[in-house]
Structures are given as structure tokens and as C-alpha cells.
Chains A and B, each alone.
Chain A
Amino acid sequence: MKRKRSFNTALLTTILASVGAILIGLFIGYLLLLATKSEYAFWGLRKILTVGISDPKKFAKVLYQAMPLICTGLSVAFAFKTGLFNIGATGQYTVGAFFALFAGIQLQLPWYVAIVFAMIGGAIWGSIPGICKALFNVNEVITSIMFNWIGVFAVNMAFQNFPMLVVDYWGKSSVRDRTPALADANPNAILPKLGLDELMNSNLVNIGIFIAVIIAVIIWVILQKTTFGYEIKACGYNRDASRYAGISAKRNIILSFTIAGALAGLGGGLYYLSGTGQYTFLKTLLAAGFNGIPVALLANSHPIGVIASALFISYIQVGGDALQPRFVRENIDIIIGVIIYVSAFALLLKIWFGKLFMRQSLAASSMKDDGPIQTPQKGSMNSNEKEEKQQ
């Protein structure tokens, strides 16, 4: 009985800490709106919070932007589970996008093969920081940052060395600063829409979002139900202890980073195989990879939580677009920034909430003898208990 309650409290406090971080972020965002154009501040807040579901078209956009965010969020979260910080998701995302478009356009392969290419590309890029960390003990954060830039530059150069991958080859445009639209280059490489486009009146939505969700579930199963997942987490909790238990930390670091890279690469693949965005050759890093970090933090690195937090981040971003031109959309980035800043010391919030709950549940048990409250959820809790024993 005691064990059940502690598990539930832990989950609840985790969720509450995230919600707390979100509320603080939104509150500061609101203050910012008040400070800049106070008469429209409430209008702005309402826009941020409601536009995402105001009509199917907007909701389609939420799903469309959430799709790569789920992947990069999973990527960061998976590395976190091994105690590694994957700040290189944006590089892996870019390389994944290149591999996907290379398969789709240069090799004229269908979308499902292009997706696999994307994952391979991301995995290669992700494995490098993993190898450097495991074999040479070079800090993975530094390696990832370096390989973000190397990735962007290498990808830009690679694109421009394959004439088919530049838009002017296809005759629709004379510029050379982006990749061609997939509709011209290879319609087979576009992710199927399964009629979702007509349902939501938007060409942004496709099966990519389902792929992302399925992958999230698979990652959850791997982490929660397999020996490999257990080893990964053990490495994250205490590397020395896990080595003592016979787990190869080196192997797990490399594998974890490779999988994280594959996930981020998948995000890039899904986004650019949607057929709605063309990759532009810019000398800057793509924000999509960096936004995986708040997604993972907000979800406390839980794969299923990542789905929710990616949807949330995408949702307020769509809301932020509706603020223009009265407010600048970067207000949303400030909100997201504040949310990560706060969740960086979420541990503190968690302890704080935990204390609050302890006190409450103590008070409740002393009053009610704790029987009736627990019974309704018995089935689900038994499985939780099993999980804990397994670990």
C-alpha cells in the first residue's frame, strides 16, 4: 500500500512541476504583453491559448509542427535517460532531412524508404558524439555543438553538389537557394495524407504525426519493458554502479546517442517529406532541433509525456503566429525560454510540491484511514507495482 502511494505521488508531483513551469512561463509572457501593449494584453493571451483549436486548419498546423517536435523531443529525452545531454538534435535533424531528400529525390525512392534513410542519417550523426564520449571521454555537449555546425555546413554543401537536389534543376524556379518541392521532384516521396487533408481542410497534415506517436510508444516500451532500456536507465542513474553490475557503459552511451540521433533524423525526414516545406540553404541552425530540449524537459523525459509537451509547444507557437502584427511572435519563444529556465530547477519545485502532498496525504490518511481512496484504481496500480519490482 505504501509503495503504491509513493509512486503515484511521484508521478503527480512531476506533472505538477511541469504545469507549474508552464504557468510561470505564461504568466511572464502575459506580463510582457502588458508591458508592451497593455490594452491588447488579454487579447494576446487569449489568442495564444485558443487559436490552436479555433478551427481544424489551425489544429492541422499544430499537428504538423508537433510532428518533428515529438521526434526531436524523444531524441533529447532518450539521451537524458542515459544521463547525456543531446544538444546536437538540430544537427542530426538536418542530416536526417538531407538523407531523406537524397533518397526521395536523387534516388527517386518512395517515402517509407526515405524515412529509413532519414533515421540512418541521424543515427550516423548522433553516433559521433556518443563514440567521442565513450572512447575518448570528450564532453558530449561540446561535440554535439561542433557537429551541429559541421552538419549544417556539410549538408548545405552536399545539397549543392547534387544538381537534382537544387530547385532550379526542375525548371520551376531559377534560384539556387533551396531544395525542390517534392510534388515536382518525386510525388511518391510525399507522406500519404489518408484523406486527413480534406477532413481538416489543410494540406499540412499527414500520417507523419501518427508515425511520430507510434515511435514514442515504441521508445516507451523499450525504456520500460526491455533489458536494454533498463541498462540505459541504469547508466543514467549511476554509471559506476551500473558498471559494477556488469553493464557496459561505453556500449550503452554509443547506442543511446545513436538511437537519439536516429530519432532526431526521423523528425527532419518527416518534416521535409510532408511536401510542404523546402529545405533552404542557410548558414544558421534550425530551431526545430533546439525546441526538442524544452519538449523533453517539460515531459521530464517521459516518452508519452513528450507527445503531450510537443503538442503544447506547437500549440502555443501556432497561437503566437496569430499575435502578429500586434505583437511579435518571439513572445512565444520567451515563454518557452522561461519554461525551460524554470524546469531547470524543477527538482526544487518537485520537492516543494512533494512536501505539500506528503502533508496532505498524511492529513488525509489520518482522517480517513486511507482505504476507500485507493481502491478504484487498483488494477492499474498493480501493473505499476510490477514495473517497480522489475527495476
Chain B
Amino acid sequence: MIIGDILSATLIFAVPLMLVALGGMFSERSGIVNIALEGIMIVGALAASLFLRYVDDMGYNPDYTQLYVLASILIAGIVGIIYSQLLAFASIKLKADQVISGTALNMLAPALAVVVTWNIQGTAQTTVLIPSWVRISQESLGIAGDNILIRFLFKSLFLTTPIAFILLLVSIFFLYHTKTGLRLRACGEHPQAADSVGVNVYRMRYLGVGISGFFAGIGGIAYTLAAGSGFTSTVAGYGFLALAVMIFGNWKPVNILFASFFFAFFRIISFYSNSLTFLPTFDNLASSEYIYLIMPYLVTMIILVLTSKRSRAPKAEGIPYDKGRR
């Protein structure tokens, strides 16, 4: 059964990684380096968990629990969009350094979250507890039994999981099969060329950053639900991890899907490393779980170095677009 547990945990941690990495992909494909994903995740998670808390306090209708969760996911996405526009404003309108303004937003978000929760929940109470009814249980769907597949699906299933896969399909369709998707990609590769055929580069970039805010905000609440101990003003570096996933996935949706599972798997293995007998135990090394924590980062680095010649990074990312420059 432990295999079922591991697969289930992998799935639930892969979901936020995939969502946030997809978000980062949209932003970078439009030409804006979005290092603020971590911060956007935090504000999204903050808004959504406060909403869920509020619903729980006000009394809720047990029949509509998943509707509340859906509303909280939308709230997370919308708050993510709003917060991401701070990055868009600085880097598109004011042509500021994208990495620096992103870093500023990353520093701002956890502080903001602590201040807000402290003021709403009272002194020193900075954990926003997530009500237990948000989980989709086996019973609520009327499915009985216990085998690997059921464990995998229902051990910890939240509405964020199906929504993430729907968003993945939508992303693929949007990016490769719509006019706007093509224009967005053009702005990340050669904005001057895009501009010359009448594409509004600024608008496309605002859109790219906005989508990344929506995805990252949802990713934030997905992470908080997965972590299970409530919102504590942090997403434990998942926003940065998602950047690695995005690069590992070569800025392509399907590759990002696989990359996020790869990362999540190693993450989970490190939690279970003591109870898995088939793994090497590193007997003469204390705290060997750290090896598994290091692994995804190290593998990404090795892959980055090996594939640097073939890296498909958007060519114009990180460079503010100036209409007057040729």
C-alpha cells in the first residue's frame, strides 16, 4: 500500500508545481522573466485560505462544499492576477529590471501574509487552518474498496487536482492553437517582428504575466491544501522549484507535466526514504534524506549544463521592450 501512498503524494505535490511552472511558462514566453512566482503563490494561498476559513466560521452548507473550494480557487487566481500586475507594471511600463522587481515581490508577499493574518486572526496567530471538508473523500463519491488505484486517487484528493489538468489542456490549446497564443509566443521571441505586423507587445506581455499570476495563485492554494497543515505564510520554495520545473520542461506544457512529476517524486521519496526498503540507505551517512532533497536540484543543474546548447529559452525574455529600439 505504501506505493499507493507515494504515488498519491507525488500527484498532489506535482499539481502545484505543474500549475506554477505553466504560469511561469506563459510569462516567459511573452518575454517577462517571472521570478515572483513564489510571492504570487503566497498571496493566492493567503486569500483562498482566508476565504475557506471565513466560510467555515460563518457556517456552510455541507452539500456545496466543493463549490466553496471552487470559489476559493477562483479567488486565489484573481488575487494572483492582481499581485502579478505589480510585476507587469514595473517591468513593462517602467522597464525596470524584471529579476529585481520580482525579488521585491517575493520579499513582500510573506511579510504581507504575516501582517494580514496577524491582524485578522489576532496577535501571533499566523497559521490559517484549512477546514477538513475541502478534501474530496472516497465516500462522498460513493466508491468503496481499497486498492492501489483507489489509494492513489483518493488518499488526498482536492478539487485543485482535476482543475490543474483541465488548465493544462487549456494551456496547450491556447498556446499552440489560437491566434493570441501565437502572438504571445512571438513577443517572447522577437518582439520587434511581432510589433511590425501589428501585435501590441505591451498588451501581450501584460496578458502573459496576468496568466502566470492566475496559475501561480491557484498553485499557491493547491500547495497549501497538499501541505495539509494550514497556511503558514510560506510555500516552502515551491515557486522557485517551479522555475526549475519550467526550465527542465523546456518551456513546453507537456514536458512541464513530466518534469513536475519527476520533481515531486523525488521530494516525496525524501519523506519516505526511511520506510522504503528498496532504496539505498547510505548506512554510514547520517540524515541521508537530504540526499533525496538535493537530487532534483542537482539533476536539473546537470541537465541544464548538458542541454545548454539546445535550450529553447524564449530569446527576448528579460529584455524590456522599447518601441524606439531596433
- Stretch from B12-20, B118-126, B199-207 at the A interface: B118-126
**Is residue A161 contacting chain B, with contact meaning CB distance below 8 A?**
yes
**Is residue A181 contacting chain B, with contact meaning CB distance below 8 A?**
no
Question: Once the chains bind, are B286 and A330 in contact (CB under 8 Å)?
Answer: no
**Shortest beta-carbon distance from B277 to chain A in Å:** 21
Q: Given A160-B287, A330-B111, A285 and B308 touching (CB < 8 A)? A: no
Q: Given A150-B294, A157-B287, A160-B287, A141 and B301 touching (CB < 8 A)? A: no
Question: Once the chains bind, are A150 and B104 in contact (CB under 8 Å)?
Answer: no
**Is residue B304 contacting chain A, with contact meaning CB distance below 8 A?**
yes
Q: Which residue of the partner chain, among B107, B112, B123, B304, contacts A325 with CB atoms under 8 Å? A: B123
**Is residue A115 contacting chain B, with contact meaning CB distance below 8 A?**
no
Question: Once the chains bind, are A145 and B243 in contact (CB under 8 Å)?
Answer: yes
Q: Which chain A residues numbered 130 to 145 have a C-beta less than 8 Å away from chain B?
A: 132, 136-139, 141-143, 145
User: What 0/1 readout, one digit per residue, does chain A (30-60) give for beta carbons within 8 Å of chain B?
Assistant: 0010001000000000000000000000000
**Residues in chain B near residue A348, CB distance under 8 A:** 94-96
Q: Which residue of the partner chain, among B107, B240, B286, B301, contacts A157 with CB atoms under 8 Å? A: B286
Q: Which chain B residues numbered 109 to 163 have a C-beta less than 8 Å away from chain A?
A: 110-112, 114-115, 118-119, 123-124
> Which B residue sits closest to A349, measured CB to CB?
B94
Q: Which chain A residues numbered 269 to 328 have a C-beta less than 8 Å away from chain B?
A: 283-285, 290, 293-294, 297, 325, 328
**Residues in chain B near residue A85, CB distance under 8 A:** 99-100
Tell me the bound Cα distance from A337 to B293 in angstroms: 29
Tell me the bound Cα distance from A32 to B237 in angstroms: 26
Tell me the bound Cα distance from A341 to B98 in angstroms: 10
**Is residue B247 contacting chain A, with contact meaning CB distance below 8 A?**
yes
Question: Once the chains bind, are A150 and B285 in contact (CB under 8 Å)?
Answer: no
**Residues in chain B near residue A154, CB distance under 8 A:** 290, 294
Question: Once the chains bind, are A337 and B297 in contact (CB under 8 Å)?
Answer: no
> Which A residue sits closest to B293, measured CB to CB?
A153
Question: Once the chains bind, are A337 and B111 in contact (CB under 8 Å)?
Answer: yes
**Is residue A230 contacting chain B, with contact meaning CB distance below 8 A?**
no
**Residues in chain B near residue A338, CB distance under 8 A:** 104, 108
Question: Once the chains bind, are A341 and B101 in contact (CB under 8 Å)?
Answer: yes
Q: Given A341-B108, A345-B101, A156 and B115 touching (CB < 8 A)? A: no
**Shortest beta-carbon distance from A353 to chain B in Å:** 15
Question: Once the chains bind, are B107 and A333 in contact (CB under 8 Å)?
Answer: yes
Tell me the bound Cα distance from A43 to B90 in angstroms: 32
Q: Given A153-B290, A330-B115, A345 and B244 touching (CB < 8 A)? A: no
**Is residue A87 contacting chain B, with contact meaning CB distance below 8 A?**
yes
**Residues in chain A near residue B104, CB distance under 8 A:** 337-338, 340-341, 344
Could you write out 6 A-B pairs with CB less than 8 Å apart? A153-B293, A157-B290, A161-B287, A290-B103, A290-B107, A330-B114
Chain A residues in the interface with B (C-beta under 8 A): 32, 36, 85, 87, 132, 136-139, 141-143, 145-147, 149-150, 153-154, 156-157, 160-161, 283-285, 290, 293-294, 297, 325, 328, 330-334, 336-338, 340-341, 343-345, 347-348
State the 4 A-B residue pairs at the shortest beta-carbon distance, nearest first. A337-B108, A333-B111, A341-B104, A345-B96
Q: A154-B294, A284-B237 are in contact. List 15 more A-B contacts (CB 8 A).
A: A36-B119, A132-B305, A136-B304, A138-B304, A138-B305, A142-B304, A145-B243, A146-B298, A157-B286, A328-B114, A328-B119, A336-B107, A338-B104, A340-B103, A341-B104
Chain B residues in the interface with A (C-beta under 8 A): 33, 35, 86, 90, 94-97, 99-101, 103-105, 107-108, 110-112, 114-115, 118-119, 123-124, 234, 236-237, 240, 243-244, 247, 285-288, 290-291, 293-294, 297-298, 300-301, 304-305, 308, 313
